[in-house]
Amino acid sequence: MNLYISNPLCLLHDNGNDHPETAERITRIQDQLISAQMFDWFHHKESRAANNDEIALAHHPRLIEHIENSLPKEGVVEISEDVNLCPDSMSAARYAVGAVLDGIDAVHNDNYKRVFCSVRPPGHHAEYDEAQGFCLFNNVAIGAAYAIEKLGYERVAIIDFDVHHGNGTESFVRKQPKAWFASSFEHPLYPFTDPKSDINNMVKIPLEKYSNGEVFRQAWSEQGLPGLVAFKPELILISAGFDAHALDPLANLQLHENDFAWITSEIGKIADKYCHGKIVSVLEGGYDLGAVSVSAREHIRTLFELD
Ligand SMILES: [Zn+2]
């Protein structure tokens, strides 16, 4: 059985007017699942709130304190470039992290095989001691740290197909040899990380502007997926961003929803072979409301094997 985790409190994080990272991203994904008559074919859960000790598995306590202390009483404040806070942002972020921890518990306890966490704010740009790029805390990195440090996993893979490189996740795996990270991203583009893969537990797959699905599939087939097989993961986490879609306003790759279904299927086959199918997938970016909702729907359809 499969599990969809979200929380209405994740909708309360507000970046202010005319910002692409909106609550509607999550409601539109849910609407797509309902209108495709998929929503009754998996279980649903409201996430718990992660506590400070859990967030500190992948962040300096100073960052948690800084965000708590910066919350406005009303309205929206910008605490750094591309990071905004409203009064409910900390609460939304705690439930986003909590969803990933709940998802990992769910597959660890063999209650579920596949989990999708429909949460925001996203996470993969958040560094150890700094919120960045619409991200407050690194949901996936905290999840990996939780699996390794609290549940005893020795090999946790993180696959990231968001159009932006997960710089925060890279920083995390540089200090955590039990985690392995593969990421495709448009290059050059924010956050402008070095495209070289210079450590054993990281594969970077830079893709040129306007690369299409064929290029994406070939790159993953040659670079990312063989590395995942060689790693023999015990658990796979996905940073599922859908902003590499051709319609996305923030980037220039030319993927379509079937490309997201393809990579999901490939990851699923490897998960079935090495880790009893266990995958926890977590929403990252995706800013065209139509494209992100349809892409997430196809990702979930494949992840949950609903065909
Ligand atoms: Zn992104």
- Whole-number Å distance, alpha carbon 198 to ligand 1 midpoint, is 22
Mean pLDDT of 285-294: 98
Residue 284 clears pLDDT 90, i.e. is over it? yes
Q: What are the tens digits of pLDDT across the range 137-147?
A: 999 999 999 99
How remote is the CA of residue 44 from the centroid of ligand 1, in Å?
Answer: 26
Ligand 1 center–CA 162 separation, angstroms: 5
β-strands 77-80, 83-85: how paired?
antiparallel
Q: Is 240 exposed, middle or buried (0-12, 13-18, 19+ CB in 10 A)?
A: buried
Average pLDDT, integer, range 270-295? 98
Q: How confident is the model at residue 219 (pLDDT cuts 50, 70, 90)?
A: very high
Q: Span 248-253, mean pLDDT?
A: 98
Which residues lie below 8 Å from residue 291, measured CB to CB, with a gap of 6+? Answer: 242, 245, 246, 247, 248, 257
Q: Average of pLDDT values for 266-295? A: 98
Which neighbouring-strand residues pair with 77? 85
pLDDT at 307: 79
Domain 2-303 class, CATH top level: alpha beta
247-260 b/e (C-beta count within 10 Å ≥ 16 → b): bbebbebbbbbebb
> Ligand 1 centroid vs 8 CA: distance in angstroms?
22
Is pLDDT at 185 greater than 90 in this prediction?
yes
Banded model confidence at residue 115, pLDDT cuts 50, 70, 90: very high
DSSP code string of the chain = -EEEEE-GGGGG----TT-S--THHHHHHHHHHHHTT-GGGSEEEEPPPP-HHHHTTSS-HHHHHHHHHH--SSS-EEEETTEEE-TTHHHHHHHHHHHHHHHHHHHHTTS-SEEEE--SS--TT-BTTB-BTTBSS-HHHHHHHHHHHTT--S-EEEEE-SSS--HHHHHHHHS-TTEEEEEEEESS-TT-------STTEEEEEE-TT-BHHHHHHHIIIIIHHHHHHH--SEEEEEE--TTBTT-TT---BB-HHHHHHHHHHHHHHHHHHSTT-EEEEE----SHHHHHHHHHHHHHHHTT--
Distance, CA 287 to ligand 1 centroid (Å)? 8
Gap from CA of 241 to ligand 1 centroid (Å): 6
pLDDT digit string (tens) for 16-66?
999 999 999 999 999 999 999 999 999 999 999 999 999 999 999 999 999
Provide the pLDDT confidence category of residue 198 given band limits of 50, 70 and 90: very high
Tell me if the pTM is above 0.95.
yes
Distance 101 CA to ligand 1 centre (A): 22
Residue 81 has pLDDT above 90, yes or no: no
**Averaged pLDDT, 204-213:** 98
Q: What is the pLDDT averaged over residues 93-102?
A: 98
Mean pLDDT of 93-103: 98
Longest dimension (CA), the chain: 50
Buried b (16+ CB within 10 A) or exposed e, 51-60: eeebbbbbbe
Domain extent listing, the chain? 2-303
